[in-house]
Structure 1
Amino acid sequence: MSMIKIENLTFSYPTSYENIFENVNCQIDSNWKTGFVGRNGRGKTTLLKLLLGQYEYNGNIEASVEFDYFPYPIADKTKLTNEIFLEVAPMAEEWELMRELSYLDMEADVLYRPFNTLSHGEQTKVLLAALFCNEEHFLLIDEPTNHLDVEAREIVAGYLKKKKGFLLVSHDRHFLDGCVDHILSLNRSTIEVQSGNFSSWMQNFTQQQNFELAQNKRLKKDINRLQQSAKRSSQWSDRVEASKIGAADKGFVGHKAAKMMKRSKNIEARQQQAIKQKLSLLKNIETVENLKLSPQKYHANTLVSYSEVACCYDGKVISDPVTFTIQQGERIALDGKNGSGKSSLLKLLIGESIEHTGTIQRGSRLVISYVPQDTSHIKGRLSDYAQDNSLDESLFKAILRKMDFERIQFEKDMQDFSAGQKKKVLIAKSLCDQAHLYVWDEPLNYIDIYSRMQIEQLLKAFSPTMIFVEHDKAFRDAIATRIIQL
Structure 2
Amino acid sequence: MSQIRINEMNFSYKTFYEPIFQKVTLNLETDWRLGLIGRNGRGKTTFLKLLHGELSPDSGKISMDTGTELFPYESKVIYPLTMDVIKENIGGLRTLEDNLEDMETLGRYLELDGFSMESSIRKEMYRMKLSEELLTRDFSLLSEGEKTKVLLIALFLRKDTYLLLDEPTNHLDIRGKKDVAEYLRRKKGFLVVSHDRSFLDEVVDHILAINKSDITIEQGNFTTWKENKDLKDEFEARAGERLGREVRQLERHAKESRLWAGSANTQKYPFASHARTNGAKAYMGQAKRSEQQIKDKIEEKKSLLLNYETAKNLDFQQLEAEGTWLVKGKDIMYSYGSRELFYGLSFVIKKGDRIWVRGGNGAGKSTLLKLIAGQLSTRGITRSEGLKITEALQEPYWREGYVKELMKDEGINPESFEKLCRLFDLPESLFERPFETFSKGEQKKLEIARALSMENHLILLDEPLNYMDIYFREQLEKAVLAVNPTLVFVEHDEWFGERVATRVIPVGE
In structure 2, the CA distance between the partners of 1:76 and 1:375, relative to structure 1 (3 Å rule), is farther
Change (3 A) 1:248 1:481: closer
SS in 2 for 1:178: helix
1:283 aligns with 2:306: yes
- In the TM superposition, residue 161 of structure 1 has moved relative to its aligned partner by 0.7
Q: What's the counterpart of residue 98 of structure 1? A: 122
**Cα deviation per residue 1:300-329 (whole Å; 9 max; x = unaligned)?**
332222222244233221455411121221
Q: CA deviation at 1:361?
A: 2.6
Taking the TM superposition and a 5 Å limit, the aligned residue runs for 1:4-23 are 4-23=4-23
Q: Give yes or no for the alignment of 1:469 onto 2:470.
A: no
The question of 1:335 aligning with 2:358 is answered: yes
Opposite residue 330 of structure 1, the aligned amino acid is D
Instruction: Decide whether the 8 Å contact of 1:174 with 1:474 is kept in 2.
Output: yes
Gaps of 5+ in 2: 92-111
Deviation at 1:250, TM superposition (A): 2.4
**One-letter code aligned to 2:388:** V
State the one-letter code of the partner of 1:8: E
How far apart are 1:222 and its partner, in Å? 0.8
Q: Among residues 305, 319, 326, which one is paired with 1:303 in the alignment? A: 326
Match of 1:30 in 2: 30
Q: 1:376 to 1:168 in 2, by over 3 A?
A: farther
The yes-or-no answer on 1:64 pairing with 2:74 is no
SS in 2 for 1:138: strand
The answer for the alignment partner of 1:459 in structure 2 is: 480
- The code of the aligned residue for 2:336 comes to Y
- C-alpha separation between the residues in 2 aligned to 1:82 and 1:424? 40
Report Cα offsets for 1:80-137 as digits up to 9, x if no partner.
3233323422246233222111101111121222223222221221111111111221
Say which is worse superposed, 115-124 or 197-206, in terms of deviation: 115-124
What whole-Å deviation, never above 9, does each CA across 1:335-355 have from its counterpart, x for those lacking one?
Answer: 22211111111122233348x
273, 292, 296: which one aligns with 2:296: 273
Q: Secondary structure at the match of 2:170?
A: helix
Deviation at residue 202 of structure 1 after TM alignment: 0.3
- 3-state DSSP class of the match of 1:183? strand
How many correspondences in the alignment? 483
Bigger CA drift: 187-196 or 344-353?
344-353
Q: Which residue of 2 aligns with 1:2?
A: 2
* Closer/same/farther in 2, CA of residues 380 and 13 from structure 1, 3 Å limit: farther
Residue 144 in structure 1 maps to residue 145 in structure 2: no
Say which is worse superposed, 21-30 or 377-386, in terms of deviation. Answer: 377-386
Instruction: Classify 1:353/1:151 alpha carbon distance in 2 versus 1 (closer, same or farther; 3 Å).
Output: same
Counterpart CA distance in 2 for 1:233 and 1:421 is 54
Q: Specify the SS of the correspondent of 1:483.
A: strand
Distance 1:76 1:376 in 2: 35
Match of 2:346 in 1: 323
CA distance in 2, matches of 1:434, 1:66: 54
Residue 348 of structure 1 corresponds to 371
Instruction: State percent identity of aligned pairs.
Output: 38
Aligned partners of 1:95 and 1:409: how far apart in 2?
53
> Which of 113, 132, 137 is 1:113 aligned to?
137
Is 1:361 the equivalent of 2:361? no
Distance 2:154 2:343 in 1: 34
Deviations 1:138-161 (A, max 9, x none): 111112223222222222111111
Q: What is the CA distance between 1:268 and its match in structure 2?
A: 0.9
d(CA) in 2 for partners of 1:333 and 1:437? Answer: 14
Question: In the alignment, is the contact (CA less than 8 A) between 2:85 and 2:139 conserved in 1?
Answer: yes
Distance 2:48 2:399 in 1: 24
3-state secondary structure, aligned to 1:287: coil
| Contact kept? 2:12, 2:58, Cα under 8 Å | no
Equivalent position to 2:181, from 154, 157, 164: 157
CA contact (8 A) 2:413 2:454 kept: no
Shift of 1:243: 6.2
Structure 2 CA distance for aligned equivalents of residues 221 and 318 of structure 1 = 64
Point out the more displaced range, 3-12 or 155-164.
Answer: 3-12
Q: Distance in 2 between matches of 1:310 and 1:147?
A: 27
Q: Specify the alignment match of 1:436 in structure 2.
A: 457
Counterpart contact for 1:41–1:421, Cα < 8 Å: no
The aligned residue for residue 444 of structure 2 is 423
* Aligned position for 2:239: 215
Instruction: Report the counterpart of residue 44 of structure 2 in structure 1.
Output: 44
Structure 2 counterpart of 1:398: 419
Instruction: Name the stretch that deviates more: 89-98 or 432-441.
Output: 89-98
Q: 1:484: which partner in 2?
A: 505
SS in 1 for 2:304: coil
Call closer, same or farther: CA 1:176–1:463 in 2, change over 3 Å. same
- Residues 421 and 447, structure 1, Cα contact 8 Å, conserved in 2: no
- Letter of the 2:348 counterpart: T
TM-score by length of 1: 0.92
Distance (whole Å) between structure 2 residues aligned to residue 398 and residue 428 of structure 1: 9
Is the contact made by 1:368 and 1:439 (CA closer than 8 Å) also made in structure 2?
yes
Per-residue deviation, 1:177? 0.7
Aligned counterparts of 1:209 and 1:109: Cα–Cα separation in 2: 52
Deviations 1:234-282 (A, max 9, x none): 11112267569x9543222222121111111111111110011011112
Q: Could you say which residue in structure 2 is the equivalent of 1:55?
A: 55
User: How far 1:68 sits from its partner (Å)?
Assistant: 1.4
Is the CA contact 1:52–1:67 (under 8 Å) kept in the aligned structure 2? yes
- Larger mean CA deviation between 452-461 and 361-370 belongs to 361-370
Number of the residue aligned with 2:223: 199
> Alpha carbon RMSD of aligned pairs, Å?
2.5
Q: Distance between the aligned counterparts of 1:372 and 1:42, measured in 2?
A: 27
Which residue, out of 183, 202, 205, partners 1:178? 202
For residue 5 of structure 1, what is the amino acid of its counterpart? R
Q: 1:30 to 1:210 in 2, by over 3 A?
A: same
Distance 1:377 1:28 in 2: 43
What is the CA deviation profile of residues 175-213 of structure 1, one whole-angstrom value per residue up to 9, with x for unaligned ones? 111111000111112111100011100000001111111
- What secondary structure is seen at the aligned counterpart in 2 of 1:144? coil
In the TM superposition, residue 78 of structure 1 has moved relative to its aligned partner by 9.2
Q: Secondary structure at the match of 2:203?
A: coil
1:476 aligned counterpart, secondary structure: helix
CA contact (8 A) 2:398 2:435 kept: no
